[in-house]
Amino acid sequence: TMAFRHKNTRRIEGLDSNVWVEFTKVAADPSIVNLGQGLPDISPPSYVKEELTKAAAVDRLNQYTRGFGHPSLVKALSQVYERVCGRKIDPLTDILVTVGAYGSLFSTIQALIEEGDEVIIIEPFYDCYEPMVKMAGAKPVFIPLRCKNNGSSASSADWVLDPVELANKFNSKTKAIILNTPHNPIGKVFTREELQVIAALCIKHDTLCISDEVYEWLVYKGNKHIKIATLPGMWERTITIGSAGKTYSVTGWKLGWSIGPQNLIKHLQVVHQNTLYTCPTPLQEALAQAFWIDYERMDDPACYFYSLSRELESKRDRMAQLLEGAGLKPVIPDGGYFMIVDVSTLNVDLSDVDDKQPYDYKFVKWMIRSKKLSAIPLSAFCGPETKKQFEKYIRFCFIKKDSTLDAAEAILKNWNKQTA
């Protein structure tokens, strides 16, 4: 063969593996009850689907739209979020529409983070934060959420940051902190006081805040989603990220958005115009129409933002019951649609599995094979130092239709009756 020197660039060195590529393949078997990937198997609301059918029938909506976001969509987003944030948001300069929240994270990090920068990531974290920070040439600095009650956790609220430990992570190189609230995978909803601690550090060190709020509407009774960008001194240094996929149960639409001050968003727009230029038009139009429908009823409990949350709260409670019935100790989430569970109490011996992977990886693979139930190992969401701390946890997704949860129930009820 002829000479060929072409390998990957430095920026993607070591970033090729990915927990999803590994586990979605394994769980693709239809006989497996899939509570792994965050994929709703419930239907999106019918009006959302109808709006897409309507949009696709309009000829000009099948051609390019405005690069930084379809006009009717950015207008709708500005209205909804002006209401939520209590401040004026310019649809053209303060918003960028991206390919999912994933695309917003990428645009933000590529726009504002570079070699020499440090970025604080709270563990456990949605797994893409680390490789994206690395791809930008920067150094991830991890800080774990720690369980208050010495390991015995009943609620996501038990998981907190140590303020002193957090303060010590900030230095002159700290360019940004990534915040995810409601939090994936634990389901923690950061309180105002917790956000104030983070905000104070951001202001003191002139640090940016990348706030991933894709689950913003999914908060359960007794909890309130607070946007860190609304705290004093924070709007000018925060990019807030949202997701159509999570808001409307349409993950396959891959639309997200970044909202923030013009002097930051303009750099995200530059990245966007040099990466994919524009997002699909009919999807953006349909999303805009869906937003108008729900904007009109934001005072009404029938608004999908609230009705979905109520629907998920009962699924959450059911999921928790099922897991407790099998002798497991779930951490009840205050928000989001994931639930983590400590599986060490089951004492499943996997030491004979000849694999260098953490315990939770081995457990999930064993559970898929022998119980036909899938989940995601929590150590996928941790930096190297913390894997040991989290490897006894696995994550279940509960945005699933009743029949899926019924199937999960059957497996969990029979759990102790079967041998490994």
How many chain residues touch another protein (CB under 8 A)?
83
Q: Is 164 in the site for another protein (CB under 8 A)?
A: no
- C-alpha Rg value of the chain to the nearest Å: 21
Q: Is 274 in the site for another protein (CB under 8 A)?
A: yes
Q: What are the tokens at 361?
A: 């990886």
Among the listed residues 135, 218, 265, 288, the single contact to another protein using CB under 8 A:
135
Task: Lay out the sheet containing 139-144: strands in order across.
Answer: 95-98, 256-259, 238-243, 208-212, 174-180, 118-123, 139-144
CA 276 to chain centre: 22
Per CB under 8 A, which of residues 333..362 are in contact with another protein?
A: none
Nearest approach, Cβ of residue 15 and another protein (Å)? 6
Binding part of the chain for another protein, among 78-86, 212-220, 268-276, 409-417 by CB under 8 A, reads: 268-276
Q: Which is nearer to another protein, 137 or 325 (CB)?
A: 137
Asked if residue 178 lies in contact with residue 383, where contact means CB atoms within 8 angstroms, the answer is no
Per CB under 8 A, which of residues 286..315 are in contact with another protein?
A: none
Q: Is 66 in the site for another protein (CB under 8 A)?
A: yes
Q: What are the tokens at 188?
A: 């923690």
Cα–Cα distance between 18 and 209 in angstroms, integer? Answer: 25
Among the listed residues 34, 281, 374, 389, the single contact to another protein using CB under 8 A:
281
Q: Is 196 in the site for another protein (CB under 8 A)?
A: no
Cα–Cα distance between 253 and 275 in angstroms, integer? Answer: 18
Binding part of the chain for another protein, among 159-167, 261-269, 322-330, 332-340 by CB under 8 A, reads: 261-269
Cα–Cα distance between 214 and 100 in angstroms, integer? Answer: 10
Per CB under 8 A, which of residues 238..257 are in contact with another protein?
A: 245, 249-255
Per CB under 8 A, which of residues 44..63 are in contact with another protein?
A: 44, 49, 52-53, 56-57, 59-63
Cα–Cα distance between 241 and 214 in angstroms, integer? Answer: 7
What character string, x for contact with another protein (CB under 8 A) and - otherwise, covers 10-39? xxx--xx-x-xx--x------------x-x
In the chain, the N- to C-terminal Cα span, in Å, equals 49
Residue 178 backbone phi and psi in degrees, to 5:
-100, 125
Q: Which is nearer to another protein, 2 or 164 (CB)?
A: 2
Among the listed residues 214, 279, 339, 340, the single contact to another protein using CB under 8 A:
279
Instruction: Provide the b/e sequence for 160-195 (b: ≥16 CB within 10 Å).
Output: ebeeeebeebbeeebbbbbbbbbbbbbbbbbbeebb
Per CB under 8 A, which of residues 68..97 are in contact with another protein?
A: none
Q: Is 111 in the site for another protein (CB under 8 A)?
A: yes
Nearest approach, Cβ of residue 1 and another protein (Å)? 8
Q: Is 413 in the site for another protein (CB under 8 A)?
A: no
Q: Which is nearer to another protein, 275 or 414 (CB)?
A: 275
Residue 142 backbone phi and psi in degrees, to 5:
-95, 145
